Chains A and B, each alone.
Chain A
Amino acid sequence: MQTKTIVGYADQIVIAPGETIAFKVSCEPGVADYRARIVRVVCGDDQPAGPGLKLEPFPAPAEDTHKARHQPIRTGSWISVRAGPALARLESVTVQAMIWPTTVAKGWQGLLGWWSEPRECGFGLFIDDKGQLLFAIGDGKGKPALLVSGKKLVDRAWYLVAGSYDAATGQTTLIQEPVECFPHVDDAATVCATVAKNYVGRPDAPFSFATILTEQGGGAVTAGAMFNGKIDAARVANRALDRAEIERLRDDPAAPSLRAAVVAAWDFARDMAGDRIVDTSTNRLHGTVVNTPTRAMRGWAWTGASGDWRQRPDHYGAIHFHDDDLDDAGWATDFTFTAPQGLRSGFYAALVETEGAEDSIPFFVRPPRGQATAKLLFLVPTASYLAYANFREALDSENAEVMTNALSIIGADMMYLNDHPEVGLSMYDLHTDRSGVAYSSRLRPILNMRLKGPLWQYAADTHVTEWLEAKGIAYDVVTDEDLHAEGVDLLQRYTCVMTGTHPEYYSTPMLDAVEAYIHRGGRFIYTGANGFYWRVAFHPDRPGIMEMRRAEDGSRSWIAEPGEYHMSFTGELGGLWQRSGRAPQKLVGTGFIAQGFDMSSYYVRKPGSFDPRAAWIFEGVGKDERIGDFGLIGGAAAGLELDYVDRKHGTPPHTLLLASSENHTDSFMIVNEEIGHNYPTTLGRDHPNARADMVFFEMAGGGAVFSTSSIAWAGSLAHKGHANNVSRITENVVRRFLDPKPFAGA
């Protein structure tokens, strides 16, 4: 069996001619070197029944050999605060916060403090290996003074935690106080002791949250003992506060009586969108988050009065840290590629190969900025690639096999994910503490966005490019990131725009752009299903990092906590676009209705396909011909996920229903957002709505929309050397949509 010993990623996902992309590669120890080359990708699917892997060698630069090296990944989110003079002056101290731990039994976890290993220097609050609060003070020379609560914390409960130390007397106090008390649960403690005087040392490390830092010399630190859970209302004072003062400092850090004592009072609800955390004290001990912990989280003061952190920031002072958060692997560059002028827009990849192992790092080349080099645009759904990045379904989900109705297959890439969980999670996965993953990043190896990968997203979308090339239809490609940044101007350079097979994740600027394009005369082909479904947001400063919330409805692999539906990057309500009044039916006529992952089915023509407005779409297709009763995905063209028309959700009233799929298996089930309460007939063989509706409609401005409404559609394009009715219908639509001639009556 091939063991994957080489993986990589790139600093960008799309470049224009003249621009440079940097590749970062890591090999397992023992690999001496590897070869790298750039290829143009026509088809990324290598299954024997399909058109086969089609890669076009790229003339320059020629294949090159590089020395291999291992580049590690450190997961876990934390906060770094550069220690200023205000901390350095501390002799006595109080450090306190509200915490909501989620993996008390995990072992040692850092909460907050100015503390470093291995010197055991400074002060800090920790959870020890017995799940108890621990307060440590050390001068970096002698043994540290440790106070332990002696009471185990409870997962998912809020606590006031504090440690205070009086340097003149050595009097030290630890407080572990639950916000809510339960009978038979003994988790409250106040512990006092007298320890050495003047014992607070000054670490070289920064003040930190959610980790224990180890000094590596030269100012470098490594983060370990990562905390899972929330921290809120973190404060530091320059003297040993009493219990009442600790509470006052928590609730009102600007209180006049504490003015001389406050050293830092962080408000995590400020600057919510970025990587900075704000200290509201005059010392301005602002910090930086590492590996994107989840922000805009319910804090200890949340009441349910508002679900929007913009309305009640005081309710959203918590950050949720996870030991498996990752936003940037941070690897050094191994080689670069500069796209030459005139390079054809399309799918590309860097192939890296070593003895018995290989990896492919996909990227996209767009046309020169501000230009179009074809009339047709293929819009690469990279936001959706990002949402699914490193989806661990077959490894982590009990449901994987019942959904596919067949044994799960673990290939070399999935095996790498199993053996290297440090490459991080997808938005479908759960964190270690079973909370949902709200952010994803492409600045790390993505094992399922690969040549020869699963026929889902990336590799499946190359069935479209393979078909376009076979038909000799010239096309440009741009990505969701381009669309997000440049909006409708980018689309308006094209007569016709085609989507990928599953363009599920859309930011507001992306959706606005597609909507405007369709309304301003654009011709739009929705080549898939379950598109325009989840609302996402991109990091304001760092491209390639995306956020979503699996809010109150939708087909969800996890469910957001109440009150945590608004995204931190924009404040917008996350979740389904449908729930923000912009269902996909409004945009493209159809929206998500059913999913099933075993066998696909076929379409039959509906009266709308004989209407003169649309009969040209079926030129060459027989009246009673089954459409797409063949294909690479489940054996037919209507499969995986299906969309249907629904006027209630906004399907335009003049939409022509051209064809519908039928005879789906019971693995296809009506999606739960279309079910008020459950009932026994939501399966494919019972429910009339378990179907894909193929539709066409014209727009007043000269535009038009054609929707296939099935993810599996493109998997049927190559059947019989592209001579089949799925290919014929697609070609009829593409060629007519590329003809600027207006549609009759529009």
Chain B
Amino acid sequence: MYPIDTSRTDLAREFKKNPFGPHSAELQRILNRMRWEPLKGKFVLVCTKPHKEWILAELPGERGKPITMHHDQVFTSLADAEWVVFKRRWKRITGQELAVD
């Protein structure tokens, strides 16, 4: 597994600035690790208003089970959603808060 070096906040800033890429090779490796989560609990966005509004959600990882919605995490920009998920995954994997706003 590609390690995430918590001192490399420069890579986090790179992602925040340009969430849809293309990314530097080092950032892409981090993203590959973050995005290759197991299905159970994997972050997705549920579209609530077509092309306008999305809610953070987690996959059940099992057919027939409901998607878990985070109704307090509503986005009107896909870039904002990517950044919130990036920060959550950073913490999930490294155990440390990402000290970048």
A residues apposed to B, CB below 8 Å: 1-2, 46-48, 394-399, 401-402, 405-412, 415, 418-419, 421, 432, 452, 598-599, 665-666
Contact = CB atoms under 8 A, between A and B. Distances in A.
Given A401-B35, A410-B47, A599 B20 contact: yes
B51 A47 contact: yes
B47 A409 contact: yes
B63 interface: yes
A1 B48 contact: yes
Contacts of B9: none
Contacts of A410: 44-47, 57, 67
A411 B25 CA distance: 31
Given A402-B32, A418-B66, A666-B28, A411 B50 contact: yes
B44 A402 contact: no
Interface in B1-45: 19-22, 25, 28, 31-32, 35-39, 42-45
A398 B46 CA distance: 17
Given A410-B44, A411-B50, 15 more contacts: A1-B49, A46-B50, A48-B51, A396-B63, A398-B38, A401-B35, A402-B35, A402-B36, A407-B82, A408-B45, A411-B47, A421-B63, A598-B22, A599-B22, A666-B22
Given A418-B66, A666-B28, A407 B44 contact: yes
A419 B66 contact: yes
* Interface majority SS (helix, strand, loop, mixed), chain A: loop
B95 interface: no
18 contacts: A1-B47, A48-B51, A395-B59, A395-B63, A398-B37, A398-B39, A402-B31, A402-B32, A406-B78, A407-B82, A407-B85, A409-B47, A410-B47, A410-B57, A415-B46, A665-B21, A665-B22, A666-B22
Contacts of B66: 418-419
Contacts of A666: 22, 25, 28
Nearest to B56: A407
B63 A432 contact: yes
B30 to A, nearest CB: 12
B90 interface: no
A411 to B, nearest CB: 5
A418 B42 CA distance: 14
B55 interface: yes
Given A46-B50, A407-B81, A410-B67, A1 B55 contact: yes
A26 B64 CA distance: 19
B22 A407 contact: no
Nearest to A324: B63
Contacts of B46: 1, 409-410, 415
Interface residues of B, number: 36
A317 B39 CA distance: 36
Nearest to B19: A406
B21 A598 contact: yes
| 10 closest cross-chain pairs (CB), A and B | A1-B48, A401-B35, A408-B44, A411-B47, A402-B35, A410-B46, A421-B63, A665-B22, A409-B45, A407-B45
A44 B62 CA distance: 32
Nearest to B57: A410
Nearest to B49: A1
A398 B36 contact: yes
A666 B36 CA distance: 16
Contact of B20 (A401, A402, A406, A412): A406
A419 B32 CA distance: 28
A406 B81 CA distance: 10
Given A396-B63, A407-B85, A412 B47 contact: yes
Contacts of A396: 39, 63
A702 to B, nearest CB: 45
Contacts of B25: 666
Interface in B56-101: 57, 59-60, 63-64, 66-67, 78, 81-82, 85
A409 B52 CA distance: 12
Contact of A415 (B35, B64, B67): B67
A1 B51 CA distance: 13
Contacts of A401: 35-37, 42
A405 B55 CA distance: 19
A412 B78 CA distance: 17
B22 to A, nearest CB: 5
A421 B45 contact: no
A405 B21 contact: yes
A353 to B, nearest CB: 15
A452 B45 CA distance: 17
A47 B66 CA distance: 27
Nearest to B65: A418
A399 B20 contact: no
A599 B44 contact: no
Nearest to B55: A1
B75 to A, nearest CB: 10
A418 B64 CA distance: 6
Nearest to B28: A666
Contacts of B28: 666
Nearest to B60: A418
Contacts of B45: 407-410
Contacts of B85: 407
A601 to B, nearest CB: 10
